[in-house]
Amino acid sequence: MAAAEAHRVIVYGGKGALGSKCVEYFKTKRWWVASIDIVANEEANANVLVKMSESFNEQADKVTSDVSLLLGEQKVDAILCVAGGWAGGSAKAKSLYKNCDLMLKQSVWTSIISSHLATKHLKEGGLLTLAGAKAALSGTSGMVAYGMAKASVHQLCQSLSGDNSGLPSGSAAVAILPTHVPQNKTVPKDVIMPGAGNKRQRVGQLLYRLLNVRSAVRDADLVAQQQQQANS
């Protein structure tokens, strides 16, 4: 009997704090995992390295081309975009322009690229997740750049839910909304935030369970269709 086809997932931001936990968790479930990031994740089966650039077109084209070369005709079950960052500051802050540029690159650029990759490489019935933020559901006067970027991600996710979004048939786009601002971004790197690793691990578990639920629903729908065809 032929071996079952391996499940495949792309983690955009796979070397970051949350992304590393997602890669680690899906590997324990024997999934094939590809990481997209500026630094390789040694635990991943494959890596696509992002070249830092001031040009969105240049960066997006390079990542898209490299992923196409990696996958060829193979499709993936999920694309998990967990890239992002945090920056504070009001509209009066001297760092406003710099922070806006950074937040757009870390959250919006990565989400747009992930969405386009999903139109090319996601299986029918697959899952695309983007990283939003609960705080960005309303005004964020003390962190303008962060809130603006995350609100853009929310809008993108809503647009992807439309019939003409370009995503494969039966697929879903979901934004995860953390309920707290990642304060660990503001503390020294050698300071350990209690429980942070466990919380990130739970996000990976949640995404894995969501994929299992969607897979079970697809299988049930397929069985129902086959029975209907047999009875017709």
Question: Which residue range(s) make up the domain with 111?
Answer: 8-184+193-231
- 24 in any annotated domain: yes
Total domains in the fold of the chain? 1
Helix (H, G, I), strand (E, B), or coil: what is residue 217? helix
Distance CA 132, CA 192 (A): 24
What's the CATH code of the domain at 213? Answer: 3.40.50.720
In this structure, the number of other CB atoms found within 10 A of the CB of residue 49 comes to 14
- 178 in any annotated domain: yes
Question: Active site includes 97?
Answer: no
Burial of 16 (0-12, 13-18, 19+ CB in 10 A): buried
Q: Where are the alpha helices (H) located in 5-124, listed in sequence order?
A: 17-28, 56-71, 96-103, 110-121
For CA atoms 218, 224, 225, 230, the dihedral sign is positive
Identified catalytic residue from 12, 25, 146, 208: 146
**How do residues 32-69 score in pLDDT, each as one tens digit?**
999 999 999 999 999 999 998 899 999 999 999 999 99
- 2 in any annotated domain: no
**How do residues 100-156 score in pLDDT, each as one tens digit?**
999 999 999 999 999 999 999 999 999 999 999 999 999 999 999 999 999 999 999
- 3 in any annotated domain: no
pTM across the whole model: 0.83
